Amino acid sequence: QPLDKSRFISVASHYLDSPIQNARINISQPIYSQIVNLLKHSCQNEKDLKTLRDHPIIIRHGDHVIAQDTTLADLPTSRNVFLNTELSHEGFSKHYHVLRFHTPDSESVAKFNSWVGKQRDLHGDVDVWHDAIPGRMGDVRVKKYISGHDSGLHHEVFVDCLQKALDSSLISSEVSNRFANPSSNIYHSHFHNYDEINNFLDQKILEFRSVPGILADIIDIGTSYENRPVRGIRIRGAGSQDDRNRPAILWTGGMHAREWIGTSSMTYFLDKILNGYSTDKKLQYLINNLDFHIIPLLNPDGYEYTRINRTWRKTRSKHPQIAPFIGVDPNRNFESHWAESQQQSHPQSDDYCGPFAGSEKIVQNLSNYMKSQPNINGFIDWHSYGQYIIFPYAFKKERASDYDDLLSIANSQNRAMNSVNGRNYRVGSIAETLYSCSGSVVDWAYDKQHVKFSLCVELPGMGKGMQGFMIPPDHITEVGDEAFTGGLDFARNVLYDALKHKPIPIRSFAYPRNDICGLHPQSSNT
């Protein structure tokens, strides 16, 4: 194939960031791996970067010289190329920190976005962790020599050293063995790898089957791109009929690889149900009248890769149309107004929508599973971070026909979650509250599968010591309790709606009946 010079320069501009006297690069397939093998260390300071940019480089394709007697500074740079780095976290993350910019109004949001664009043009290696919105903040991962002083915004260092934050969420394999027993009371004090999560599911099925009154089955929705099974557990009351008219809810985690707290919360939910069913009358009523489908890890390939590159977000799929770039954002790949956002169309982007709708195995798997379960009345896709309870639409600011009921159920869930740790969640449609995006799972579930209560919950990560995506494991149960309380409130309201507002016998739920969705919808107070 003819050499795409611009694409090569885009990739090379990231990897050519170590001081070298003269780089002689022979381009052949695969271009990507050759560059990785040649240059494995990232620049440690601005002086190194300047030194590199001033040194001559030679770029060759076979025997043909493409460029010589030039410098990297003379070549065009490309945004977001860092997202496809194959470098391990060792010797890489220690050179980065995360800056937090305060954006009280629309003008400051515009300044933030302008500054981020400028840094990408200058340095390439910029990762927005939390998009700026008026009244909140924007978080950006950059190299340590980038201070943010030229932004014109009030800012501070949110995560001082990415490597230290990473180390706090990982433990050695020797220590890990002590936490890997699914029946251990310290299991939820550690983030687990894919194999440990699968072992946990197998063990929990056995434990559920020993609890009188509960039926539990393994959910197997298919395999990932790298052939890892994607599994979960379905739970229902033993006295209930197994029919397609019985209402159900679906909770999923791990859509985005780096959002570990979503996956850990799903496994924590399973233990909370297992340990609470025998004594909690409210939980018994919900389980006896609702099917619970819980899938902790939708994106196992990306999740496992975060052991190497902790901030990886996408899948690990390879498509010839986008080589040498790897991966797709699965939450931009569903067949719901797919690829309507120009920003999502670049393969190197963190939120790349894919070469076509449904290109990703995990999107196909989840879509097919939900199509096979027409009784799903409520769906929550659990993410991090930012403290949001948000719902359709994501692709446009026009409100959904069920907006009032969605707002009411989200407000009720916010109050339930707030009662645990005092944290408040912003509530509203995705496009109005956070940002617009196309191809999202909640829009697809709402529009295509007619799941009325289709929500995305962004769990905490903003607070002191939480460190964004790098949330330390000592917050797992704290966040898990908060999320589970909100999840049960959501389940209660979904059931109430499914029963066409017939009274629920157990009246000791957290809130008065006039807060239940469909009655007296309230505007967001967050």
Q: What is the pLDDT of residues 452-494, one digit of tens each?
A: 999 999 999 866 666 788 888 889 999 999 999 999 999 999 9
For residues 235 and 291, membership in a common domain is answered with: yes
pLDDT at residue 238, rounded to an integer: 85
Residue 523 lies inside a defined structural domain of this protein: no
The CATH number given to whatever domain includes residue 269 is 3.40.630.10
Q: What is the pLDDT of residues 168-194, one digit of tens each?
A: 666 533 445 555 566 666 889 889 999
Last residue of a domain, one of 118, 147, 169: 169
User: Domain check: are 124 and 53 in the same one?
Assistant: no
- Please, what sign has the CA dihedral across residues 296, 298, 302, 304? positive
515 found inside a domain: no
Q: Does the annotation count 304 as an active-site position?
A: no
pLDDT at 464: 66
CB 377 within 8 A of CB 452: yes
- pLDDT greater than 80 at residue 319: yes
Through-space distance between the first and last CA atoms of the chain, rounded to whole angstroms: 54
Identify whether residues 466 and 361 lie together within a single domain.
Answer: yes
Give the number of other CB atoms < 10 A from CB of residue 451.
23
Whether residue 518 is contained in a domain is answered as: no
Kindly name the residue from 226, 458, 478, 482 that is annotated as catalytic: 458
Claim to verify: residue 184 and residue 159 sit in the same structural domain:
no
Q: Are 523 and 451 in contact (CB under 8 A)?
A: no
Q: Which of 88-92, 93-97, 257-261 has the lowest mean pLDDT?
A: 88-92
Task: Look at residue 267 and tell me if it is in a domain.
Answer: yes
Q: Give yes or no: residues 157 and 220 share one domain.
A: no
Which positions ≥6 away from 87 have C-beta within 8 Å?
Answer: 36, 40, 42, 309
Is the same domain home to 226 and 346? yes
In a shared domain, residues 312 and 330:
yes
Q: Is residue 505 part of a domain?
A: no
Residue 519 is assigned to a structural domain of this protein:
no
Report the 3 state secondary structure along 235-265.
EEECCCCCCCCCCEEEEECCCCCCCHHHHHH
Q: What is the CA radius of gyration of the chain?
A: 24
Residue 97 belongs to domain spanning: 93-169
Query: In the listed set 169, 197, 228, which residue is the last one of a domain according to the structure?
Result: 169
Question: What's the total number of domains in the chain?
Answer: 3
Q: Are residues 258 and 403 in the same domain?
A: yes
Q: Is 414 left (phi over 0), alpha (psi -120 to 50) or beta?
A: alpha
Helix residue spans in 361-475 (DSSP H): 361-371, 403-421, 430-433, 441-447
pTM, to two decimals = 0.76
Q: Let me know if residue 526 belongs to a domain.
A: no
Question: For the domain that residue 139 is a member of, what is the CATH number?
Answer: 3.30.70.340
Q: What is the pLDDT of residue 120?
A: 77
State the average pLDDT over residues 384-408.
94
- Phi and psi dihedrals of 511, rounded to 5? -130, 155
The verdict on 403 and 438 lying in the same domain is yes
> Where is the domain boundary, 169, 186, 203?
169
Asked if 18 and 39 count as a contact pair (C-beta separation under 8 A), the reply is yes
Distance CA 253, CA 381 (A): 6
Task: Give the residue-averaged pLDDT of 370-386.
Answer: 95
**Does the residue 211 lie in any domain?**
yes
Q: Are residues 17 and 131 in the same domain?
A: no
| Cα distance between residue 408 and residue 523, in whole Å | 8
Both structure tokens of 400: 């959904």
In this structure, what DSSP letter does residue 25 have? E
Query: 449 and 317, same structural domain?
Result: yes
pLDDT of 133 strictly over 80: yes
- On whether both 31 and 70 belong to a single domain, the answer is yes
